Amino acid sequence: MSRPPRTPCIGICSTGIGDDVCRGCKRFAQEVIDWNRYSVDERQAVLDRLDQLLVQVVQSKFDLLDRELLLKQIRYQQIPFDENKPAHCWIFALLRHGAGQIGKLEDFGVRLKPEWQQVSLVELKSRIDQDFYQLSCAYYERYILPGTRAAQPS
């Protein structure tokens, strides 16, 4: 029997202060509240959506040159990551745990896109997190909120 997917919670929840989308894990408030009641498939659907949004943001800033080199380096550096996630999620894990210590990205099989080469990796980590949050909010406003409003009594 396989274990259900783990929560993406990173311990920085903003739904308790009224945010519709958590600034930490980027889940919707109702997903945070109902997580333990979700089926394995429901949890996986949330995780897949989060991965897709994060990949979209990371791909806009980085080129993945060598997936196997990135995997080898992340393991060597003992950076926590999920090998089952897309490789662009690994890039964010790398930045989250070592943006200030990375010398040459190419040593990790990764390259910055030309328009981002003058931005520090620490700043890029912050921008990726902000963009990821904004995409999650946009998704919520476009696909979730209209259904919520329609379900509310007049």
Nearest CA among 36, 26, 44, 47 for reference residue 132:
26
pLDDT at 154: 41
Q: Write down the pLDDT at residue 153.
A: 43
Rounded to 5 degrees, φ, ψ at 77 are -80, -5
Q: Can you give the pLDDT at residue 114?
A: 98
**How far apart (Å, rounded) are the C-alpha atoms in residues 55 and 38?**
24
Domain ranges within the chain, ordered by starting residue:
15-132
Q: What is the mean pLDDT of each run of 10 residues along the chain (154 residues)?
A: 80 90 96 95 97 98 98 96 96 95 96 97 97 97 79 44
DSSP state letter for 23: T
Alpha-carbon dihedral 135, 36, 93, 110, rounded to 10 degrees: -60
Is this structure's pTM higher than 0.75? yes
Write down the pLDDT at residue 6: 87
